[in-house]
Amino acid sequence: MASHDEYDFRTFPAAVAEDGTPDPASAAWLQAETRGFHDPRKSEKVLARSVERLAADGRRLTGVYARSAPAGALGVEVPVATFAWFPSTLNTGGAEPLDVHLVSNVTVRPTHRRRGLLRSMMTADLEQAVTDGYALAGLTASEAGIYRRFGFGEASWVRHVTVTTDSRFRMVAEPRGRCELIEAASLRTIGPEVFARFHAGHPGSIDRHAKYWDRATGLADDKGEPDDAVHAAVHYDESGAVDGYVAYRFQGWEKEPYTLGIVDLVAADDEAYLGLWDFLGAVDLVERIEWEFAPMDDPLPFALTDSRLVKTTFVEDWLWLRVLDVERAFAARGYANDGEAVLDVTDPLGYAAGVFRLRVTGGVGSVVRVDRSDSMTPDVVVDAAALGSLYLGGVDPRVLAAAGRLSERAPGGLQRLRALLAPVAPVYGITHF
Active centre residues (catalytic): 147, 433
The amino acid present at 317, given as its one-letter code, is D
Cβ-based neighbour number of residue 8 at 10 Å = 13
Torsions phi, psi for 386 (to 5 deg): -65, -35
**Is 194 annotated for ligand binding?**
no
Residue 106 marked ligand-binding? yes
Q: Is 224 labelled a binding residue?
A: no
Contact 93, 205 (CB under 8 A): no
What stretch of H or E contains 9?
strand 7-13
Cα distance between residue 72 and residue 253, in whole Å: 45
234, β-bridge pairs = 180, 245
Tell me the three-class secondary structure of 158-181, residue by residue: EEEEEEECCCCCCECCCCCCEEEE
Does 115 carry a binding-site annotation? yes
> What is the rounded distance in angstroms from the CA atom of residue 345 to the CA atom of residue 325?
12
Largest CA distance in the chain: 70
Sort strands 259-267 and 288-294 into parallel, antiparallel or unpaired: parallel
| Residue 118 is assigned to a ligand binding site | yes
Is residue 366 part of an annotated ligand binding site? no
142 annotated ligand-binding residue: yes
74 is in an annotated binding site: no
Q: Which helix (H) or strand (E) holds 186?
A: none
Q: Residue positions in the annotated binding site for acetyl-CoA?
A: 106-108, 114-119, 142-143
Annotated binding site: 106-108, 114-119, 142-143
